[in-house]
Structure 1
Amino acid sequence: MGNSIDAPRRRPGLIAATLAALALSAVGAWAESACREDTVMLRGDWGSVRFNVEIADEPQEQARGLMGREAMPVSSGMLFVYPAPRRASFWMRNTLIPLDMLFVDASGTVTHIHHEAVPLDETSIFGGDNVLAVLEINGGLARRLGITEGTRLRHPAFSPDEAAWPC
């Protein structure tokens, strides 16, 4: 019988190799997409999660942050990235939504979390010294997901030589 239905039975090695190549291709595509400028991955004992982020790496973008926004999708956030580790403080001037602020060191490790910053509050929120990045997400989300200090963050902003979870 020479029909195409019988062909897979006669060539199992070719089919296995094709399936393996497709699987590796899919894994490779996922790995590449896992480390993108517009994506932050977080993992810890609690599990893992991915956020689509806007980057604020210029002083003007950092000063504006999420001011004036009335809502933000649950899977989104803003990542503030500094040129070098520094002392970091934030406030909620003109920010209309409650936020969780995750302060991150040069290794990509969350060193401090400020939960549910109050909209429009101008009280300074100190995040610590040696902060390279700050991830802002919707208020209450860090607790709901179980994100804690010690959580690892993955993003191209962290040097592969220093990152606890490199790209």
Structure 2
Amino acid sequence: MRALARTAGIARLALAFAALFFVLSTAASAAENFETQPLTIVTRDGKAHAFVVELAVTPRQREQGLMNRHEMAQDHGMLFAFGETRQVLMWMKNTYLPLDMLFIGGDGRIRTIRENAEPLSEAIIDSKVPVDFVLELNGGTVKRLGIRTGNRVESPLIESLRKAQ
């Protein structure tokens, strides 16, 4: 009888571990993969600031964005492409990093900027004008590098979409 109870206990434990493994593997597979590419911001005084950006081009990638990340290299960011020119609304839900958001037109020019978006906030961040892209950088980057509206953003993705239009 004890052997039967012990066997049942082991079976329940094995089942619990299997369920935990399934949950963890499902969560890990739900995370999107992002391609990277170089991106340069050219300021009005001709200074070029280089970054490596992850590309958020599919609906699932755009939905995930930088959520649940706790760090990002100073020269990295994420470029969101929407496939159309429109007003864009963003938020910081589940995003732990303060971010500078640069709203970019199809011509590669920065239209509006939101500096130091508050981590974990569900407040809507509005592009205020129709744009094609959003570039997210670590909070404080805009101020540190003197980035302003009207500056030019150069990237293979922006260039390829500009040529397609």
Normalised by the length of structure 1, the TM-score is 0.72
* Regions of 4+ moved over 4 Å: 159-163
Whole-Å separation in 1 of the counterparts to 2:134 and 2:124: 15
Aligned AA (2:148): T
Whole-Å separation in 2 of the counterparts to 1:38 and 1:158: 11
Whole-Å separation in 1 of the counterparts to 2:98 and 2:82: 23
Unaligned runs of 5+ in 1: 1-36
Q: What displacement does 1:82 show?
A: 1.2
Whole-Å separation in 1 of the counterparts to 2:151 and 2:116: 18
Whole-Å separation in 1 of the counterparts to 2:67 and 2:106: 26
* 2:61 is the alignment partner of 1:61: yes
* CA-to-aligned-CA distance 1:6-42 (integer Å, 9 cap, x gap): xxxxxxxxxxxxxxxxxxxxxxxxxxxxxxx611111
Q: CA 1:140–1:156 in 2, change beyond 3 Å: closer, same or farther?
A: same
Contact 1:106 1:130 in 2 (8 A): no
Q: What displacement does 1:84 show?
A: 1.3
Whole-Å separation in 2 of the counterparts to 1:81 and 1:142: 20
Report the counterpart of residue 40 of structure 1 in structure 2: 39
Q: Percent identity?
A: 36
Give SS of 1:113's match: strand
Report the counterpart of residue 144 of structure 2 in structure 1: 144
Q: What displacement does 1:161 show?
A: 8.9
Q: What displacement does 1:152 show?
A: 0.1
Contact 2:37 2:156 in 1 (8 A): no
Cα RMSD over matched residues? 1.8
Aligned AA (2:117): A
Q: What displacement does 1:45 show?
A: 2.1
Alignment of 1:61-100 (within 5 A): 61-100=61-100
Q: CA 1:97–1:111 in 2, change beyond 3 Å: closer, same or farther?
A: same
Give SS of 1:129's match: coil
Aligned AA (2:50): R
Aligned length: 128
Query: Which is helix-richer, 1 or 2?
Result: 2
Normalised by the length of structure 2, the TM-score is 0.73
Give SS of 1:143's match: helix
